[in-house]
Amino acid sequence: GQQLNQSPQSMFIQEGEDVSMNCTSSSIFNTWLWYKQEPGEGPVLLIALYKAGELTSNGRLTAQFGITRKDSFLNISASIPSDVGIYFCAGHNAGGTSYGKLTFGQGTILTVHP
Amino acid sequence: DVKVTQSSRYLVKRTGEKVFLECVQDMDHENMFWYRQDPGLGLRLIYFSYDVKMKEKGDIPEGYSVSREKKERFSLILESASTNQTSMYLCASRWTGTDTQYFGPGTRLTVL
């Protein structure tokens, strides 16, 4: 199946620092999604991107849909301790018999030191 | 609020046992999914169901089967559990035509 490479695998940062992570794919996606998983919980959708070049913000989070449609980026500004968790990118190709199947990246584990 | 519940948060089983993992959603979603989550591998799709009694294999279906007799319930079955099936199992659901999948809290399964 399709592969998504997400990096970095983990990050240890100080509170107040900015964070960047990205995902690259061997094939094109129509939609890019970013999820966050907090300890003991299932992933929750943070941001959805639908158009190549699109830049979307959700509070301190900003995500971009790459021009080539093969990559996406997530930035978190001024990190706080509650940003701790695992961040996943996911790609989706709508239509046909996809039935909403998502391809997930390996995840970025974020640790924020107060 | 959308709610996806999973029958157990933690489960310990022995090799060779038949294991049932249950997932229930309360939002009348047509599509439901089972994933396993392993460190460094992200979420991998085991099976999904696009409607009652309908199912499709995902990327890693070997050793698993599923059942969807009612719209709100999607069961994952390990016919004969093996140690390499020790993992976190996540269920998700969504409305047809939308991108957002809503996830349950997960079941951490240990097979001894």
Taking residues B44-55, report their average pLDDT: 93
Asked whether the beta carbons of residue A42 and residue B48 sit closer than 8 angstroms, the reply is: no
Report residue B34 as tokens: 């089972």
Indicate whether B58 pLDDT > 60. Answer: yes
- Structural contact between residues B10 and B106, judged by C-beta atoms closer than 8 angstroms: no
Place A95 in a pLDDT band, splitting at 50, 70 and 90.
Answer: low
A60: distance to nearest CA of chain B, Å?
21
Q: What local confidence, expressed as pLDDT, does residue A97 receive?
A: 58
Q: Chain B partners of A104 at a C-beta cutoff of 8 Å?
A: 35, 42-44
Indicate whether B60 pLDDT > 70. Answer: yes
Give the pairing of strands A71-76 and A85-92.
unpaired
Judge whether B84 is closer than 8 Å to chain A, CB to CB.
no
Indicate whether A92 pLDDT > 80. Answer: yes
Q: What local confidence, expressed as pLDDT, does residue B30 receive?
A: 92
Indicate whether A96 pLDDT > 60. Answer: no
Other CB atoms within 10 A of residue A47 CB: 21
Indicate whether A100 pLDDT > 80. Answer: no
Taking residues A49-71, report their average pLDDT: 95
- The three-class DSSP label of residue A83 is helix
Q: Which of A4, A50, A99 to mutate to test the interface with B (most CBs of B within 10 A)?
A: A99
Asked whether the beta carbons of residue A42 and residue B4 sit closer than 8 angstroms, the reply is: yes
Q: What local confidence, expressed as pLDDT, does residue A1 receive?
A: 56
Other CB atoms within 10 A of residue B107 CB: 21
Asked whether the beta carbons of residue A42 and residue B103 sit closer than 8 angstroms, the reply is: yes
Of A79, A89, A80, whose CA–CA distance to A22 is shortest? A89
B81: distance to nearest CA of chain A, Å?
23
Tell me how many residue pairs between chain A and chain B have CB atoms under 8 A apart: 61
Asked whether the beta carbons of residue A100 and residue B101 sit closer than 8 angstroms, the reply is: yes
Q: What local confidence, expressed as pLDDT, does residue B100 receive?
A: 85
Taking residues B81-98, report their average pLDDT: 93
| Mean pLDDT estimate for chain B | 94
Q: Which of A50, A56, A102 to mutate to test the interface with B (most CBs of B within 10 A)?
A: A102
Taking residues A92-105, report their average pLDDT: 75
- Structural contact between residues B25 and B88, judged by C-beta atoms closer than 8 angstroms: no
Report residue A111 as tokens: 């640790």
